[in-house]
Homo-oligomer: A and B are copies of this chain.
Amino acid sequence: MTQGVGRIGRYVRMVAQPGQGSALAEQLMRVADGLRDAPGCELYIINRTPDEPDTVWVTEVWADAAASDAALSRDMGEAGIGEVLALLAGPPEFVDLAPVGGPGLR
C-alpha cells in the first residue's frame, strides 16, 4: 500500500476524564464545525459510545495525508485543541486506515 498518496482515514479513540464525555463530545463538535470547509476533509464524524460514556471516537477520511496535516494543524488549533486535550484522561489512540470505497464516500 502506498504511503503519502491518496485518500487516508483513521479512527481516533479519546477517553475523557470521568464524567467529562459530554464535554469532550461538545468540544470535538466545535472542531468538526471548524473543518466543514477544510480542503480535502471528506469525513470528520464525532461518535459517542453507548456502553462507555466517557469515550468518544472520531471517524476521519481525508483526500490525502497533506490535507489532513494542514487542516488539523491549522483548524484544530483555531478550534481549541488545547481544550480537547485538557479533557482527556490519557493520550488518544489511533487506528490508521486506507479507505477503499462504499456508500457515503464521495
Contact = CB atoms under 8 A, between A and B. Distances in A.
Contacts of A51: 96
State how many copies of this chain the complex holds: 2
Interface string A77-106: 000000000000000000111111111110
A101 B29 contact: yes
**Interface-centre pick from A42, A98, A100, A103 (highest chain B CB count, 10 A):** A103
Chain A interface, DSSP helix/strand/loop, else mixed: strand
A50 B102 contact: no
Interface residues of A, number: 37
**Interface-centre pick from A45, A46, A47 (highest chain B CB count, 10 A):** A47
A95 to B, nearest CB: 7
**Interface-centre pick from A41, A44, A57, A100 (highest chain B CB count, 10 A):** A100
A43 interface: yes
Contacts of A59: 9, 11, 59
A84 to B, nearest CB: 14
